[in-house]
Amino acid sequence: MGAAAAPPGECRTLTVPDGIHRARADKVLAAAFPEHSRVAWQRALSAGLVQADGAVISQAAAVSAGQVLRFRLPETQPLELRPVSIPLNVLFEDEHLLAVNKASGMVVHPGAATGEDTLVHALLAHCAGSLSGIGGVERPGIVHRLDRETSGVILVAKTDAAHRGLSGQFAERRISKHYLALVSGRPQLLSGTLKNTIGRNPNHRHKMALVPPEKGGKPAHTDWEVAESFGERATLMRCQIHTGRTHQIRVHMQSLGHVILGDVVYGWKPDPRLPVNPERVMLHAGQLTLTHPITQQPLDLHAPVPADMERLIKALR
């Protein structure tokens, strides 16, 4: 079952197909118009924008074969943020999504303590006129996050359908995420796996910690291997994360006894043995591999090592 797209604001009709008996209207509409989520149809129903046989129906209403649904989707509302022209390093872009190599220091989402220099502000300017609306709002659909100081690949959906597809791949752990981390010291092993559960630090709410499941810790899986060793001073690690907990690599590296260079939140202190002490957390999201949510083509996205991290690596050599 499928029909032509239903543009927001346009009145349309749908005759409930044969074989359907007392199915929820939002489910029937989402099946007929799969480019719009069930949440979008629930919004339309809640707003009184859906009728069955001439009468407005509620969000929980059930419909059956032969009934005529008349409906329109709410207009996409502009996000109450000002687009700001900030240069972006775009790694991939089409009409459905884009991938950006986020610079260290850039915050992803606006918040109480942020200015108009977030990634969302930059994307609103970059994508002007090409956002179809995520959740009924004209905004970029950011499906994962990077900390302010972490650089590297971040994915952004332009449409509701791409947003749902990417969110599903992240939820099902079908996106491969690889990072580079410069850590203190030298591990005794060349590789390993960490599966300690992670939760909010009970004593410092802005930090995460190893927390047992019975106290709210959630599964966190990080594979790591040594990419290059610089004596006892530092090690360049490749990390693959199979879950997406907040500060996951930072907490797992701390638990391993090898705090990421520059990560003062998790205990790093300036080291006189280093050629230069970094001014930020030396963590970089270097690679994401996934399936394009619309075309189903494989995407292998790479972000080059940023200049400050490259300089430190060369100095350590």
In this structure, the answer to whether residues 224 and 289 fall within a common structural domain is: yes
Q: Residues 92, 129: one domain?
A: yes
Is 86 in the same domain as 101?
A: yes
Beta carbons within 10 angstroms of residue 216's beta carbon: 12
- CATH number at 107 reads 3.30.2350.10
In a domain, 281, yes or no: yes
Residue 224 domain boundaries: 176-305
Same-domain check for residues 200 and 108: no
Tens-digit pLDDT profile for residues 179-215: 999 999 999 999 999 999 999 998 887 899 999 999 9
CA distance 34 to 182: 44
Read off the pLDDT of residues 266-316 as tens digits, 9 standing for 90 and up: 999 999 999 999 999 999 999 999 999 999 999 999 999 999 999 999 999
Residues 156 and 275 grouped into a single domain: no
Contacts of residue 302, defined as CB under 8 A and 6 or more positions apart, other chains included, come to 91, 153, 286, 287
The pLDDT value given to residue 88: 95
Distance CA 307, CA 282 (A): 11
- 3 domain-assigned: no
Residues 219 and 158 grouped into a single domain: no
Residue 246, pLDDT above cutoff 70: yes
Domain count, the chain: 3
Q: What is the mean pLDDT of residues 211-233?
A: 96
Do 213 and 270 lie in one domain? The reply is yes
Task: Tell me: do 20 and 57 sit in the same domain.
Answer: yes
The answer to the question of residue 4 being in a domain is no
User: For residues 131 and 138, is the Cβ–Cβ distance under 8 A?
Assistant: yes
pLDDT, position 1: 44
pLDDT at 303: 98
Known catalytic residues are 147
pLDDT digits (tens, 9 = 90+) for 107-127: 887 776 678 888 988 988 898
Do 191 and 167 fall into the same domain?
no
pLDDT tens by residue, 63-98? 999 999 998 876 655 556 788 889 999 999 999 999
**pTM score of the predicted model:** 0.75
Q: How far apart are CA 302 and CA 117, in angstroms?
A: 24
Dihedral class, residue 22 (left if φ above 0, else alpha if ψ from -120 to 50, else beta): left
Last residue of a domain, one of 171, 192, 215: 171
